[in-house]
């Protein structure tokens, strides 16, 4: 079993192995290239498709971005990310269609054991000792707005039509159609027609 396969079957894995470091290095190098380019450079946005798992045809990343693997992230159509997106996609991350991210959003699909010996001096089946991680993944549905400075932790499912308020730390699932916010983030109320701003048009 490869180290990447260990991630996807829910086992502890060593992110310092050459296998995983090489995968991450490719994404890191392409993020760096993206971040150094002018936002009007037509060669900038296509760089995303060089390392992302998949993405729709219409998307925009303001940048700067930092994505750990890229190949573990799958994004739908009509995606927008504002400044300073961080994606720790050790496990797979799925993002639906028509999703918007505000500035400084962090997706953290990774975790470490709480017991120190398991976290920093884990002995693996082949005998080597290293730092340990495990990861389950993140799912974000369609038509979602994640506002500024939101952190979404591992093993979270965000339903369709959800709005996550600024500064929230999302550690639990959020059902379809809810406004949610807080630390920790909680569903506050359903979003209804009373929330319409069409009168401002």
Token code pair at residue 126: 């082949």
What range does the domain containing 74 cover?
3-200
What values do phi and psi take at 150, rounded to 5? -95, 140
pLDDT digits (tens, 9 = 90+) for 10-19: 999 999 899 9
Q: Quick one: pLDDT at residue 22? A: 97
CATH number of the domain within which 153 lies: 2.160.10.10
pTM of the full structure: 0.95
Question: DSSP assignment, residue 88?
Answer: E
Per-residue pLDDT tens for 94-151? 999 999 999 999 999 999 999 998 888 878 778 887 889 999 999 999 999 999 999 9
Q: Are 198 and 185 in contact (CB under 8 A)?
A: no
Residue 62: predicted pLDDT: 98
User: Which residues are known catalytic residues?
Assistant: 112
The two tokens of residue 107 are 């997706």
Q: What's the domain count of the chain?
A: 1
């Amino acid at each position: 079993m490869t180290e990447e396969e260990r991630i996807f079957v829910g086992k502890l894995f060593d992110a310092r192995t050459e296998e995983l470091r090489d995968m991450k290095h490719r994404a890191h190098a392409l993020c760096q290239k993206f971040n150094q380019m002018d936002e009007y450079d037509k060669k900038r946005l296509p760089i995303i498709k060089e390392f992302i798992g998949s993405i729709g045809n219409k998307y925009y990343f303001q940048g700067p971005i930092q994505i750990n693997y890229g190949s573990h992230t799958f994004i739908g159509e009509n995606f927008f990310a504002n400044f300073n997106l961080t994606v720790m996609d050790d496990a797979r991350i799925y993002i639906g269609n028509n999703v918007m991210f505000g500035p400084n959003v962090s997706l953290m699909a990774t975790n470490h054991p709480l017991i120190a010996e398991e976290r920093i001096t884990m002995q693996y089946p082949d005998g080597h000792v290293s730092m340990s991680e495990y990861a389950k993944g993140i799912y974000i549905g369609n038509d979602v707005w994640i506002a500024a400075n939101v952190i979404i932790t591992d093993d979270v499912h965000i339903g369709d039509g959800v709005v996550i308020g600024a500064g929230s730390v999302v550690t639990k699932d959020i059902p379809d159609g809810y406004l949610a916010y807080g630390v920790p983030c909680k569903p506050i109320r359903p979003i209804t027609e009373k929330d319409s701003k069409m009168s401002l048009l």
